[in-house]
Amino acid sequence: MTVRATLRGRRFAVLDDFLDGAALEEVRRTMAASAFSAAESPLLTGQDGALRSRGTVVRGAAADLGAAGDPAAYGLVRSAVAAEPELFGRPGEDWDRVGFTFWNYPVGSGLAWHGDAGGGRRGSYVLFLHEEWRASWGGELMVLDEEEADTGTVELQVRESGSSPVAIVPRPNRLVLLRAGTPHRINRVDPTAALVRCSLTGFAMKRPDGAGADARDRFRELVGALKGASE
Ligand SMILES: O=C(O)CCC(=O)C(=O)O
Ligand SMILES: [Fe+2]
């Protein structure tokens, strides 16, 4: 199956049938072997909350410079991000690393309106990995295709906007690319959903400038490595 670009906005793009069968199976195996813990975020809106895989993997911009043992999906996602300079800017210059985290959203969980602006983030991607998703199971990724306002809350912006959010159904093997600073949320997963909403997500980011920021970054990496080793 070949990748199909099925929907494109000003600030987002949707690619379907993103991975071939072998790559999809491989990244699902990586997800199944990952340790998950409850995600704590003020954005989570569910009673049950979401789970995220421990120890986010971070890789550089070049798709062919992954670590040995990385699923092929990681390189393919980086290529897809690099192929969208209008959404993410220039690879290696505007962003130089991409994170990879698996997420599970069980029945009742969701994510509140937010924009993901700041922190050197240029954009994000979401790849849906569950085996099946019915249109009535909820969990849609809602996107308001406009720039996040610098005043007020994102929730207020969406409420007052003259346009309406687009509902992106979490179809398996669908990749969504989203420019940072675009209001979005995850609708709660419906009580009738038979499966957990599973995704691989991450940000394309630029390392912050300045020695202080560099030192902070190195410190975070060190803490991350120590935490990873103890988990
Ligand atoms: O899983 C999704 O559809 C989007 C996730 C998201 O917006 C985030 O983690 O910031
Ligand atoms: Fe987000």
Residues 6+ apart with CB under 8 A from 223: none
Identify the residue whose C-alpha is closest to ligand 1 atom 8.
Answer: 201
Q: Which residues approach ligand 1 with their CB closer than 6 A?
A: 103, 111, 116, 124, 126, 141, 184, 186, 199, 201
Q: Among residues 42, 41, 38, which one has the least CA distance to residue 52?
A: 38
Amino acid at 208: P
**Ligand with smallest separation from the Cα of 115:** 2
Residues 6+ apart with CB under 8 A from 36: 51, 52, 53, 54, 102, 104
3-class SS at 60? strand
For ligand 1, the distance from its centroid to the CA atom of residue 126, given in whole angstroms, is: 7
Atom of ligand 1 nearest to the CA of 176: 3
4-230 homologous superfamily: q2cbj1_9rhob like domain (2.60.120.620)
pTM of the model: 0.90
For ligand 2, the distance from its centroid to the CA atom of residue 111, given in whole angstroms, is: 8
Rounded to 5°, angle at Cα 54 from 105 and 169: 25
Task: Confirm if 148 and 181 have CB atoms less than 8 A apart.
Answer: yes
**Residue whose entry in the numeric block shows the structure tokens 């020695």:** 211
Atom of ligand 1 nearest to the CA of 103: 1
For ligand 2, the distance from its centroid to the CA atom of residue 1, given in whole angstroms, is: 28
For ligand 2, the distance from its centroid to the CA atom of residue 114, given in whole angstroms, is: 6
One digit per residue, pLDDT tens: the chain, 231 residues?
799 999 999 999 999 999 999 999 999 999 999 999 999 899 999 888 999 999 999 999 988 878 889 999 999 999 999 999 999 999 999 999 999 999 999 999 999 999 999 999 999 999 999 999 999 999 999 999 999 999 899 999 999 999 999 999 999 999 999 999 999 999 999 999 999 999 999 999 998 765 445 555 555 555 544 444 433
ipTM of the complex: 0.98
What gap in Å lies between CA 101 and CA 91, rounded to an integer? Answer: 20
For ligand 1, the distance from its centroid to the CA atom of residue 80, given in whole angstroms, is: 17
Task: Confirm if 103 and 39 have CB atoms less than 8 A apart.
Answer: yes
Sign, CA torsion 41/84/16/131: negative
Domain residue ranges of the chain, discontinuous segments joined by +: 4-230
Residues 6+ apart with CB under 8 A from 155: 112, 113
